[in-house]
C-alpha cells in the first residue's frame, strides 16, 4: 500500500491540468467555479483523492489516475511530455483495478477517473485502459462511478467498448481549432483524432440501443480546453463549445487555465487568470442551459469576455434595464435572461403562477429569486419593486 500511495502521490502532483466533474453556474461565485477535482486534497487515509461533483449533483471522493505517466507525445504545456526529466509511473491494469477496488472497499473513494499518457500509440494505450476497466467491471464487479478517457488515435470499436464500461467518457480537444491545437500540441490532429471520436460518441448514442450492462443508458461525454497559453480568444473557445453542445450533445466543456510547467516549451508563459476560467464557465452554462447564443455574449473587440462582469449581468444591463421582465407573464426563456434566475427558479416561478399571481418581494424570495440581483430587471404586476428603487 505504501508503494501504491507513493505512485498515486507522484501522479497527482502533475495532474493539476486535468479537470473532471465539477459544478458551476452563471449564478455562482468564483470560488465555486474552480473545480474541486482540480485541487487535489488528501483524505483521512492520506491517499491523494479529489472531491468531484457528478452530473447529478452528488459529491463523491474520486481517484484521478493515469495508467502511465510515460508519454511519447510532446504537447507543449504538459508535464508528462516526452523527454521531460521526472520519475514516470506505470500501473499494470490489474494493479490499478485492484487498487480502485480496495480503496472503494475501505470507503476512501466512490469513483475513479482513468486516463493515460500515450505509450505505443493511442490504439494500444486505449486497449490497456479498456483492459483496466474490464477487470474492474467483470473480474471485481465494481459498481462505482467510472470516467474513462478516450485516447487520441482510438478506434470506433474501442469507443463503443469504453462507453459500455464507463459512466462518462471524455476526449480533450485542448484547443478550439486546428491552428490553436497545432500551437499547443503539434502531434495531435484536431479533426481526425479528437473531434471525430466526440461525433462517434453521439452517433453511437443515437443509433445503438442503450447498453444494458452496468447501467441502462449510454454515458455522457465531456471535453477540456487548455486556456490562455496560445492566444486563443474566448469567442473561439465558446463558438466550438456551443457547436459541441448542439451537435454532439456534449455534457460539459471544461476550461483548464494554463499554468506553466518547468522544463516545457511554455515554461515562461504567464498563467491564465482564474477569472478568465470563471467567466468561460459562466458563459458556457449560458449556452448550454439558459438559451443564450454565442452572439448574445458580451465579447470585446478582441473576442474576450470582460473579466470584471458576469456575462449574464452584462447582457441584462444592456438589454433588460429599460425593458424589465414581467414576472407574472414572462416565458421561461425570458425569465432565464434575468440575473439570479436559473433553470430551477424559472421552473418554480412558472409552476407557482399556475395557482397564484406573484405579488411582492416575499413571493419572489419564497420562489428562490435573489432580490438584490434580479430586482432591477423585473416588474411585478407592471411595477418596479420598491427594493429596486432603493438600489438605484
Q: Which residues bind ligand SF4 (CB under 6 A)?
A: 71, 73, 75, 78, 80-81, 117-118, 185
For helices 122-134 and 156-165, the axis angle rounded to 10 degrees is 20
Q: Which is nearer to ligand SF4, 14 or 94 (CB)?
A: 14
Residues sharing a CB contact under 8 Å with residue 84, sequence separation 6 or more, in sequence order: 263, 264
Distance in Å from the first CA to the final CA of the chain: 62
Helix (H) or strand (E) holding 140: none
- Find the DSSP H helices in 15-165: 30-33, 93-105, 122-134, 156-165
Rg of the Cα trace of the chain?
23
Instruction: Dihedral sign for Cα 195, 84, 260, 231, please.
Output: negative
Assigned C-alpha cell, 143: 459498481
Residue 72: CB minimum distance to ligand SF4, A = 7
Q: Which is nearer to ligand SF4, 262 or 382 (CB)?
A: 262
**What are the distances in angstroms from CA 86 to CA 71, 89, 91, 121, 347?**
12, 10, 16, 21, 52
Q: Which is nearer to ligand SF4, 42 or 191 (CB)?
A: 191
Q: Which is nearer to ligand SF4, 25 or 74 (CB)?
A: 74
Q: Which is nearer to ligand SF4, 76 or 278 (CB)?
A: 76
Q: Which is nearer to ligand SF4, 110 or 264 (CB)?
A: 264
Helix (H) or strand (E) holding 61: strand 59-66
Q: Which is nearer to ligand SF4, 75 or 283 (CB)?
A: 75
- CB of 103 closer than 8 Å to CB of 63: yes
Nearest Cα to Cα of residue 71 among 177, 153, 181: 153
Residue 15: CB minimum distance to ligand SF4, A = 10
Residue 75: CB minimum distance to ligand SF4, A = 3
Residue 74: CB minimum distance to ligand SF4, A = 6
Residue 185: CB minimum distance to ligand SF4, A = 6
Residue 125: CB minimum distance to ligand SF4, A = 9
Residue 41: CB minimum distance to ligand SF4, A = 23
SS3 (DSSP) at 169: strand
Amino acid at each position: 500500500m505504501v508503494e501504491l500511495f507513493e505512485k498515486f502521490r507522484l501522479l497527482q502532483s502533475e495532474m493539476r491540468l486535468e479537470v473532471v466533474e465539477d459544478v458551476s453556474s452563471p449564478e455562482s461565485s468564483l470560488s465555486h467555479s474552480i473545480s474541486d477535482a482540480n485541487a487535489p486534497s488528501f483524505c483521512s487515509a492520506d491517499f491523494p483523492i479529489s472531491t468531484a461533483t457528478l452530473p447529478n449533483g452528488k459529491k463523491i471522493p474520486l481517484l484521478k489516475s493515469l495508467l502511465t505517466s510515460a508519454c511519447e507525445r510532446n504537447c507543449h504545456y504538459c508535464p508528462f511530455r516526452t523527454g521531460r526529466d521526472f520519475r514516470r509511473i506505470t500501473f499494470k491494469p490489474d494493479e490499478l483495478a485492484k487498487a480502485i477496488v480496495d480503496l472503494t472497499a475501505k470507503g476512501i473513494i466512490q469513483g475513479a477517473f482513468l486516463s493515460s499518457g500515450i505509450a505505443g500509440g493511442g490504439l494500444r494505450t486505449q486497449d490497456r485502459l479498456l483492459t483496466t476497466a474490464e477487470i474492474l467491471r467483470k473480474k471485481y464487479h465494481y459498481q462505482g462511478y467510472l470516467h474513462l478517457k478516450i485516447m487520441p488515435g482510438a478506434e470506433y470499436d474501442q469507443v463503443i467498448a469504453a462507453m459500455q464500461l464507463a459512466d462518462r467518457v471524455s476526449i480533450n480537444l485542448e484547443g478550439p481549432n486546428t491552428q490553436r491545437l497545432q500551437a499547443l500540441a503539434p502531434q495531435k490532429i484536431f479533426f481526425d483524432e479528437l473531434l471525430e471520436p466526440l461525433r462517434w460518441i453521439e452517433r453511437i448514442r443515437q443509433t445503438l440501443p442503450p447498453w444494458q450492462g452496468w447501467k441502462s443508458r449510454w454515458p455522457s461525454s465531456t471535453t477540456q480546453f487548455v486556456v490562455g497559453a496560445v492566444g486563443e480568444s474566448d469567442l473561439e473557445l465558446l463558438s466550438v463549445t456551443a457547436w459541441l453542445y448542439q451537435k454532439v450533445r456534449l455534457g460539459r466543456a471544461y476550461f483548464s487555465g494554463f499554468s506553466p510547467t518547468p522544463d516545457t516549451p511554455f515554461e515562461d508563459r504567464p498563467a491564465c487568470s482564474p477569472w478568465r476560467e470563471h467567466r468561460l464557465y459562466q458563459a458556457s452554462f449560458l449556452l448550454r442551459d439558459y438559451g443564450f447564443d454565442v452572439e448574445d455574449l458580451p465579447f470585446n473587440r478582441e473576442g474576450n469576455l470582460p473579466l470584471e462582469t458576469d456575462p449574464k449581468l452584462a447582457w441584462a444591463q444592456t438589454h433588460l434595464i429599460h425593458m424589465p421582465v414581467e414576472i407574472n407573464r414572462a416565458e421561461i426563456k425570458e425569465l432565464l435572461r434575468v440575473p439570479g434566475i436559473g433553470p430551477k427558479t424559472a421552473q418554480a416561478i412558472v409552476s407557482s403562477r399556475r395557482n397564484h399571481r406573484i405579488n411582492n418581494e416575499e413571493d419572489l424570495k419564497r420562489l428562490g429569486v435573489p432580490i438584490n440581483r434580479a430586482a432591477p430587471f423585473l416588474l411585478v404586476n407592471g411595477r418596479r419593486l420598491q427594493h429596486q428603487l432603493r438600489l438605484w
